[in-house]
């Protein structure tokens, strides 16, 4: 039985986990870097341990320090949140070897999906559609060109160990592919420590649509419907919504079945997301994220299922509280509010001098900021997530317009003005989305 949870994370997700633990009657331990001493997650947890300097490699990614903090405080479980150590199979193994409960998927499932070339092969064997491409890491430039010529240009090179949009390169012809091959390998090596790259067909304006899954140790896997995450800048999501405007009941059924097959293929347990690209009525597996995601609240809003609560239940050995796919009710949209220049996307750290949160029906804010909080320059720039829920998409957009307009954050620049422009965009209002949507707002690769 879990009784005390250490949260190996910071920011809004650390607070979200603390809230879920409190509701479940569990004690909490916050870990923090020297730069995060004044963070809200540190104040809200029952106990706190400083695990190192600001630099994430020395603190939030420091396996030894995190495990030591759990031992010192007598925590019996670790929730990794997203990012940092969440998809580190080695860390998950150590947690388990130390006799602690890992609130996440089995390390083998993380590993199987963490290598993307491998994941493509695994899901293909279960009949999940993938884009034409390589099923093994590419051995050489020539091999890449031969394969690209077979499947047809454009193609995209991706790091097998990739994530966060890093190490991806598009090539429109053989010359360009030869040119970017070594760059992509080098980038992959630098970012992930492994230079392996694979390639697949590049779709010029697809939609990113993903399916939330939840699984328990008894082998039950439930899909909770899709999220549309096509509005991205530099391959990073900015706005997510559920349901997607292009997914009808029949397509939803197929995508959910494919997501369940992918999760079952690796013996999945806990919350996970199967990401697909959608184009012209067809969808293709891209990767599986083996953790809770930033955008999980839109699914919570339309299904009424508390995903963090389910994660805690399942980690404690209980069955999921849901037996089958819940109905999606109404429409939800999440806006990521980052501390960044709304035009150049350059980070904007500093002190929050003024703050007012929006209120009203169908409005949720997940955040860790407060007036006087100093946004450190060391971590990602997410300040808050605004999630609106309405009876239909139109009502959700109207609620977003009201809420974004009443969301005051002073002292740092934020993406709020950009969101206000996007919701007035005729294509956004009509649900005509693609991953190229942000190009008109100055998105650069
Ligand atoms: P990461 O794990 O680094 O986030 P993903 O494989 O999830 O990488 O891809 C991130 C984004 O890159 C997608 O949401 C999409 O916008 C774009 N992308 C990836 N693969 C393709 C492809 N084959 N064709 C077109 N766009 C792609």
Q: Which residue CA neighbors atom 8 of ligand 1 most closely?
A: 165
**How remote is the CA of residue 235 from the centroid of ligand 1, in Å?**
7
Q: Write down the pLDDT at residue 234.
A: 87
| HEC letters along the chain | CCCEEEECCCHHHHHHHHHHHHHCCCEEEEEEEHHHCCCHHHHHCCEEEEEECCCHHHCCCCHHHHHHHHHHHCCCEEECCCCCCCCCHHHHHHHHHCCCEECCCCHHHHHHHHCHHHHHHHHHHCCCCECCECCCCCCCHHHHHHHHHHHCCCEEEEECCCCCCCCCEEECCHHHHHHHHHHHHHHHHHHHCCCCEEEEECCCCCEEEEEEEEECCCCCEEEEEEEEEEEEECCEEEEEEECCCCCCHHHHHHHHHHHHHHHHHCCCCEEEEEEEEEECCEEEEEEEECCCCCCHHHHHHHHCCCHHHHHHHHHCCCCCCCCCCCCCCCEEEEEEEECECCCCCCECCEECCEEECCCCCCEEEEECCCCCCEECCCCCCEEEEEEEEECCHHHHHHHHHHHHHCCEEECCCCCHHHHHHHHCCHHHHHCCCCCCHHHHHCCCC
Strands 350-351 and 374-375 come out as antiparallel
The number of the ligand 1 atom at minimal distance from the alpha carbon of 133 is 23
Look at ligand 1, atom 17, and give the residue with the nearest C-alpha.
Answer: 235
Mean pLDDT, range 232-243, rounded to an integer = 95
The pLDDT value given to residue 232: 96
Atom of ligand 1 nearest to the CA of 284: 23
Residue nearest to atom 11 of ligand 1 (CA): 235
Quote the pLDDT of residue 444: 62
443 pLDDT band, cuts 50/70/90, is: confident
Read off the pLDDT band of 149 (50, 70, 90).
very high
Substitution candidate for ligand 1 out of 208, 285, 291 with most atoms within 8 A of CB: 208
Which residue, 227, 243, 214, 242, is CA-closest to 321? 214
Pocket test for ligand 1, best of 165, 169, 226 (most atoms within 8 A of CB): 165
Q: In this predicted model, what pLDDT tens digit does every residue of 103-130 receive, in sequence order?
A: 999 999 999 999 999 999 999 999 999 9
pLDDT above 90 covers a percentage of the chain that reads 93
Question: Which atom of ligand 1 sits closest to the CA of residue 208?
Answer: 14
Q: How far is the CA of 375 from the centre of ligand 1 (A)?
A: 29
Question: Residue 165 pLDDT > 80, yes or no?
Answer: no
**Which pLDDT score, from 0 to 100, does residue 135 have?**
82
Tell me the best of 191, 235, 289, 291 to mutate to test the pocket of ligand 1, counting ligand atoms within 8 Å of each CB and taking the most: 235
Average model confidence (pLDDT) for the chain? 96
Q: What is the pLDDT of residue 445?
A: 55
Tell me the pLDDT tens digit for each residue of 283-329. Answer: 999 999 999 999 999 999 999 999 999 999 999 999 999 999 999 99
CA atoms of 194 and 202, how far apart (whole Å) = 23
Report which protein residue has its CA nearest ligand 1's atom 12. 235
Q: What is the mean pLDDT of residues 211-224?
A: 98
**Atom number of ligand 1 nearest to Cα 235:** 11
Flag the least confident range among 101-110, 186-195, 216-225.
Answer: 186-195
Instruction: Tell me which residue has its CA closest to atom 21 in ligand 1.
Output: 202
What is the Cα–Cα distance from 1 to 180, expressed in whole angstroms? 51
Q: What is the pLDDT of residues 341-399, one digit of tens each?
A: 988 889 999 999 999 999 999 999 999 999 999 999 999 999 999 999 999 999 999 99
Please give the domain boundaries of the chain with CATH numbers for all domains. Answer: 4-103 (3.40.50.20), 132-201 (3.30.1490.20), 207-441 (3.30.470.20)
**Residues lining ligand 1, judged by CB closer than 6 Å?**
131, 156, 162-166, 200-203, 206, 208, 232, 235, 275, 277, 286-287, 435
Ligand 1 center from residue 165 Cα (angstroms): 7
Closest alpha carbon to 331 in 266, 400, 419, 278: 400
Q: Cα of 412 to ligand 1 centre, how many Å?
A: 30
| Residue-level pLDDT at 380 | 93
Give the pLDDT band of residue 192 (cuts 50, 70, 90). confident
Catalytic residue among 291, 336, 399, 413: 291
Residue 98 in this model has a pLDDT that exceeds 70: yes
Query: Is residue 291 flagged as an active site residue?
Result: yes
Report the b/e string of 403-442 with b at 16+ CB within 10 A.
bbeebebebbbbbbebbbebbeeeebeeeebbbebbeebe
Given ligand 1 and candidates 286, 288, 293, which is best to mutate, with the most ligand atoms within 8 Å of its CB? 286
């Amino acid at each position: 039985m879990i009784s005390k949870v250490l949260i190996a994370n910071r920011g809004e997700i650390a607070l979200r986990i603390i809230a879920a633990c409190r509701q479940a009657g569990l004690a909490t331990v916050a870990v923090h870097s020297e730069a995060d001493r004044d963070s809200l997650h540190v104040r809200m947890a029952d106990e706190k341990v400083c695990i190192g300097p600001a630099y994430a490699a020395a603190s939030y990614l420091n396996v030894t320090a995190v495990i030591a903090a759990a031992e010192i405080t007598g925590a019996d479980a670790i929730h990794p949140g997203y990012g940092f150590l969440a998809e580190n199979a080695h860390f998950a193994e150590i947690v388990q070897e130390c006799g602690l409960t890992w609130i996440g998927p089995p390390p083998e499932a993380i590993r199987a999906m963490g290598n993307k070339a491998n994941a493509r092969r695994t899901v293909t064997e279960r009949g999940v559609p993938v884009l034409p491409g390589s099923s093994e890491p590419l051995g050489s430039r020539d091999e890449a060109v031969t394969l690209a010529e077979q499947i047809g240009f454009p193609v995209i090179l991706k790091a097998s160990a990739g994530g966060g949009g890093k190490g991806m390169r598009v090539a429109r012809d053989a010359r360009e592919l030869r040119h970017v091959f070594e760059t992509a390998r080098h980038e992959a090596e630098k970012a992930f420590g492994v230079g392996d790259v694979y390639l697949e067909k590049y779709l010029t304006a697809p939609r990113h649509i993903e399916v939330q899954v939840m699984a328990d140790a008894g082998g039950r896997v439930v899909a909770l419907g899709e999220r549309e995450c096509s509005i991205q800048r530099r391959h990073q999501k900015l706005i997510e919504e559920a349901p997607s405007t292009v997914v009808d009941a029949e397509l939803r059924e197929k995508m959910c079945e494919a997501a369940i097959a992918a999760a079952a293929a690796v013996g999945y347990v806990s919350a996970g997301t199967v990401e697909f690209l959608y184009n012209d009525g067809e969808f293709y597996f891209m990767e599986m994220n083996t953790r809770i995601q930033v955008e999980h609240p839109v699914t919570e809003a339309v299904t009424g299922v508390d995903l963090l609560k389910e994660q805690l239940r399942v980690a404690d050995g209980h069955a999921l509280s849901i037996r089958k796919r819940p109905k999606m009710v109404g429409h939800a949209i999440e806006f990521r509010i980052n501390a960044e220049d709304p035009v150049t996307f350059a980070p904007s750290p500093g002190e929050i001098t003024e703050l007012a949160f929006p209120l009203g029906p169908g409005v949720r804010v997940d955040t860790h900021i407060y007036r006087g909080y100093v946004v450190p320059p060391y971590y990602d720039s997410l300040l808050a997530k605004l999630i609106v829920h309405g009876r239909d998409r139109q009502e959700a957009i109207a609620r977003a317009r009201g809420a974004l307009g009443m969301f005051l954050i002073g002292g740092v620049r934020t993406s709020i003005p950009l969101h206000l422009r996007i919701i007035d965009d005729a294509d956004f209002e009509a649900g005509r989305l693609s991953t190229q949507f942000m190009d008109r707002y100055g998105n650069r690769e």
